[in-house]
Structure 1
């Protein structure tokens, strides 16, 4: 089968519907006045109306297949799968930020212990402890900010992915079907080259 008209999944069947809809609209909007042509010296009658009927039948057939593919794809299940991917990605990123925060605090604790080992004065120890706490708070605030920003960006990206999937694979073919079947396009006969020269 021609790759253009493959229909073994939702994406391919939607593409076939869009192509047939465009072909039907083009035939209905502008075509030459052909009524017959020769095939192996045999005159064949095949006008614009015949071509439109053929394309309409093909569009109806592929629209039915597209509806079946939509039912099989299950948009609700698609949403659940994308939500699970979002949850998994958020958990992975949160784990990464937690590991980073733990490593930074561990490094600060090691530095604090080394400083306190060489200091016996109580006031200096208190100052070192205060500086250490301030640095730990900075690390925690930075990790929290990074986590919130990353989660927001991941959510936005996943929402855009889901919106693009719904638009391209579900909504767009339906829009083209509607344009092809509901819009009443008046046929416009393309002028012959000889008529264009006479008008000039």
Structure 2
């Protein structure tokens, strides 16, 4: 059985995402159902996922979008996000549309976006994503879990670089929100994972 991801997105975002798959994958992933609507045309994108165990298939949950139900699978979301690793703007566009449709993303999805932005050195966009995430009280996970998720998923040669950059960005985000205790917790968390604290982040915290 294939895990599926279904939701309605702008045609521009879908085309950019689907161009990252092979023609064979494209045929199996794309569905264009006709739908009567007064002002817009909806499309459905399905991300093909390898065979899943019964426990993984239970991750599927219904998502109400507009006047129709679609099926959301977190593994499909991760696959699409990973396909945008060479296009951070597309990753942000996809993230924005997911949030616009009320999709609750897990820590691994955010970790993927954060890794993409960090790898490209897009500090302002990374800061914006983290501040918005911190302010979201319904996120369903602890922000500090991002550090652990990135540490577990990152390639060995990139692990230290990503942890330093992400922990530094988190410190800045917390300080900008006057959440100083949480900023200090980030430094302790990164140290526990064997990551040297970002000097800039420490200075930023001390100067405030």
Same fold (TM over 0.5): no
TM-score range, shorter chain: under 0.3
- Answer 1 or 2: higher relative contact order, Cα 8 Å, separation at least 6: 1
Q: What TM-score do the two structures reach when normalised by structure 2? A: 0.23
Q: What TM-score do the two structures reach when normalised by structure 1? A: 0.24
Question: Which structure is larger by alpha-carbon Rg, 1 or 2?
Answer: 1
Give 1 or 2: higher helix fraction.
1
